[in-house]
């Protein structure tokens, strides 16, 4: 997913004639972000269940899904030789 976003931004940069580069996260950074999202999501889901505010539970669910996507992305950013694609 990150490669596709970077490719689209490069096309836009070329079309507009500007030079804006996005950071390429390392595998370790993606894993840390996934863990943080999971912890926050679980807390929000618990708060949404205990408290009358159901929006907390919805935000928690979105955060847990985001954690799963980040985790998958961190696994997919390695090429055949074991080198990171984004470094």
pTM for the full predicted model: 0.68
Residue 12, in any domain of the structure: no
Residue recorded with tokens 């836009």: 12
Residue 38, in any domain of the structure: yes
Report pLDDT for 87: 47
* Spans of the chain, pLDDT less than 70: 77-87
Report pLDDT for 83: 53
Distances 37 to 17, 21, 60, 65, 68 between C-alpha atoms, Å: 36, 25, 9, 9, 9
Report pLDDT for 9: 85
Residue 17, in any domain of the structure: no
Beta-carbon contacts of 2 under 8 Å, excluding residues fewer than 6 positions away, are: 24, 25, 73, 77, 86
Q: Are 67 and 37 in contact (CB under 8 A)?
A: yes
- Owning domain of residue 71: 26-76
Residue recorded with tokens 């696994």: 75
Residue 50, in any domain of the structure: yes
Q: How many domains does the chain have?
A: 1
């Amino acid at each position: 997913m990150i490669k596709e976003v970077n490719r689209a931004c490069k096309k836009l940069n070329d079309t507009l004639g500007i030079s804006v580069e996005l950071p390429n996260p390392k595998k370790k950074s993606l894993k840390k972000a996934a863990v943080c999202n999971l912890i926050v999501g679980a807390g929000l889901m618990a708060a949404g269940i205990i408290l009358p505010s159901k929006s907390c539970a919805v935000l928690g669910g979105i955060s847990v899904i985001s954690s799963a996507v980040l985790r998958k992305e961190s696994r997919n950013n390695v090429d055949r030789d074991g080198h990171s694609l984004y470094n």
